[in-house]
Structures are given as structure tokens and as C-alpha cells.
Amino acid sequence: MSSLAGLLRKETLHIVRDRRTLAVIALLPIVQVLLFGYAIRTDVKNVRLAIVDPAPDHATLAIRGRFDGSEVFHVVAVLREASDLEPLFQRGSAQEAVVFEPAFADHLARGLPARVLIITDATDPNTGSSRLNYASAVIQDYEREIRTRSASARIVPDVRMRFNPTGESSNLFVPGLMAFVLTITSSLMTAISLTREKETGTMEALLASPLRPGRIIVGKVAPYLVLGLLAALAVIVEATLVFRVPIRGSVLLLLAEALLFILVSLALGMLISSRTSSQRVAMLGALVGTMLPTLLLSGFIFPVESMPAVLQWLSNIVPAKWFVLIARSIMLKGVGLAYLWQETLILLFMAVLLLRMSTRSFHVRLA
């Protein structure tokens, strides 16, 4: 009877029998995806729109009329100068602006490109890009209509994202969500389960047994590795089935990278447990040490590019940042390892370093 098999079996029973925690773990990815997919929908109603129309003519007035009549937009200001926009954006009293060039109708009539600039506040990139799409649609609508009269008429919209120039799409939450779910199943669960064994004294019994420390560690964390992979799969499946989030790159590579991130998280969980002796402290430690950085500093919710320099720098030591970057590139850009080897190396380095530190802290307890 293999001692390792026994350990793995025991740990699996711990997980399976803790019904409440298991339910949370099983439901977490599902609920989160639904939450981020539906509830935190990018709601584009009552968009506060400012219009800059230096020389009003029939064309610009027609388009303005369409914005006025739209349910989506609420025109808050009509300005002469584009420079007057800045304070409106700063205060947030305008979320979007449409800027016409002078002689708009004249250009249209002569078949020259009539230029219009759409600017949107993209601090929240998802709603920002939705707003852009709505405004473009209104203008394109108008363009289609006048083309029935003069085929050479051309409106050239130019778009600009304020505060977050990269303007990211709504598929972005899935990679971040994976990081978050993996952090919970790996760091939090491992930290708690190891600390529980310390608290109840069973760890002492394991250490007093002829089991080698390495084997105790493997028996302890391997089930959480499997659990983490299952959770990652659940997020991917749900995201693709329910929200049609594309996975343009290799699913296998994505899972391999997820495995790497799980290893990092497990090691962090072990490190946290080695510094604590009660489950409550371990839970807090995991919360502050891993979950909050994953939520706040990984680019999951807030884009790293729009953070203050200090936080941007700090985000580099957050493993989730690298995983989110990798997962986004695989899922949305469809790139392979050739483009991601640097980020992968960083994660690998973190995994090796943290695993070494955590196994050492485990050994120290024996000495």
C-alpha cells in the first residue's frame, strides 16, 4: 500500500467531504463568469455626450438631431471649440464627445472626406468601447442615408480612447477571472488546509512518521493542483459556451500556463501557512497576500497602463499580472509560445523560487 496514494486519497476525502467549501469552489467560477458576463454588463444608456461643432451646417445639424433623438445619448453640451472639452471630461460631466470639422457639409457635398472625431472616456475600457460603437453606428447610419443621394459622400470617423488608449474589449474579463479562481483554489485552499493540519496536530503526526517531507508536501498539494485545473477548465468552457469568448490560441498551451500559475499559487499558499498557525490568520494572509493583488494589480479589473507608476512597478511582482497577460494573448490574440516565452519564463522563475522557499520553510519546521 503506497503511502503517497494513501495521502492523496485522504486529502481528496478532505476536499470532497467539506461540502460547503466544495460547493463554493464549484460554483465560484460559474457565478463569477455570469456575474462578470451579465451583471457587470457594459450598460450604455444615457451616455453624456458633448458635441463640438465649430461651424454648424445642415449635415452636422442632422447628425446632432439623431444623437438628440437617440435613447442611448443625452447631449449635455454643444461647444464651438474642442479645447473646451477637457474640463467636461475631467469632471466626468461628459463621457463622450463628437467633434465635427469645419465645413463638414461642404466636404460631403464635394466628395471630399468629411472628418469627425469620436472621443470617449475609457477609464472603464468595456463601456468605453461600447459607447464608441454606438456613436459610430449613429454616424454611419447617416452616411448610409446620404449615400443614396450622392454616392461619393464619405464620412471618415476617427476614434480616440481617453485615459486608456488601448481600449480593450469585453472578452478581457475571462483571463483575469481564471487567475482569480486559480488563486482561490490554489493559494487559499492550500494555506487553509495546511494550517488546519497544524491546528489539529495531525501535521505533527505526519512529521513524526517515516514519511519524507517531500512526500508529505506532494500528498498535500497535488489534489489542489487537480482542483485548480478543473476550475480553470470550468471557466474556459463556460466562457466559450455561454459568452462565446474566443480562444484563438492553443487550449493546451493555455492549460499548461494555468498549471504554471497554479504551482506559483500553491507555493504562495504553502509559504503563507508556514508563517501562520491558525486557519483564520491563514485565510486573511491569503486574502491580502494573493487575492487582493490578483484582483487589483493584475490588470483584471483595472488596466495596469492606467495605474500610477508605483503600482505599475509593483504589479510586476504579482504573478497574476503575468498570467493574465499570457492568457489574454493566447485567448484573444491567438499567439503562441514564440511571443510569450518571456512572460512564461518570469512565471517559471517565480514558480521555482517560491516552491524552493516554501519547501524550505517546510523543512525548517522539522529542524
Partner 1 sequence: MSTGHVVEARDLTRTFGSFTAVDHITFHIDAGEVFGFLGANGAGKTTAIRMLTGLLSPSAGEARVVGHDVYRECEAIKRNIGYMSQRFSLYDDLTVRENIRLYGGIYGLSRRQVRERSDRILDTLGLGHAADQRVHGIPLGWKQKLAFSVAMLHEPRLVFLDEPTGGVDPITRRQFWEQIYEAARSGTTVLVTTHYMDEAEYCDRISIMVDGRIGAMGTPSELKSEFRTQSIEDVFVRLARPPAAAESAQ
**What residues make contact with partner 1 under the rule CB under 8 A?**
1-3, 5-7, 9-10, 13-14, 17-18, 200-202, 204-212, 366-367
Kindly tell me which of 97 and 227 has the beta carbon lying closer to partner 1. 227
> What 3 state SS string does 62-109 have?
HHHHHHHHCCCEEEEEEECCHHHHHHHHHHCCCCEEEEECCCHHHHHH
Nearest alpha carbon to residue 265 among 232, 228, 292, 223: 228
Nearest alpha carbon to residue 230 among 186, 293, 283: 186
Nearest alpha carbon to residue 36 among 44, 28, 47: 28
Shortest separation between residue 216's beta carbon and partner 1, angstroms: 9
Kindly tell me which of 2 and 83 has the beta carbon lying closer to partner 1. 2
Nearest alpha carbon to residue 237 among 298, 177, 300, 294: 177
Q: What SS3 state is found at 156?
A: strand
Shortest separation between residue 12's beta carbon and partner 1, angstroms: 11
User: Is the torsion defined by CA of 240, 243, 249, 255 positive or negative?
Assistant: negative
Orientation angle between helical segments 213-243 and 19-34, nearest 10 degrees: 40
Kindly tell me which of 223 and 319 has the beta carbon lying closer to partner 1. 223
Shortest separation between residue 194's beta carbon and partner 1, angstroms: 14
Kindly tell me which of 6 and 165 has the beta carbon lying closer to partner 1. 6
Shortest separation between residue 337's beta carbon and partner 1, angstroms: 40
Kindly tell me which of 58 and 365 has the beta carbon lying closer to partner 1. 365
The H-assigned helical ranges of the chain are 3-17, 19-34, 58-69, 85-91, 104-109, 125-147, 173-183, 189-200, 202-208, 213-243, 251-275, 279-286, 292-296, 309-315, 319-328, 337-366
Paired residues of 74 in beta bridges: 48
Shortest separation between residue 46's beta carbon and partner 1, angstroms: 53
Shortest separation between residue 22's beta carbon and partner 1, angstroms: 12
Shortest separation between residue 206's beta carbon and partner 1, angstroms: 7
Kindly tell me which of 141 and 204 has the beta carbon lying closer to partner 1. 204
d(CA 89, CA 306): 16
Taking phi first (over 0 means left), then psi (-120 to 50 degrees means alpha), and beta for anything else, what does residue 309 get?
alpha
Kindly tell me which of 309 and 367 has the beta carbon lying closer to partner 1. 367
User: Is the torsion defined by CA of 333, 338, 341, 344 positive or negative?
Assistant: positive
Kindly tell me which of 212 and 360 has the beta carbon lying closer to partner 1. 212
Shortest separation between residue 3's beta carbon and partner 1, angstroms: 5
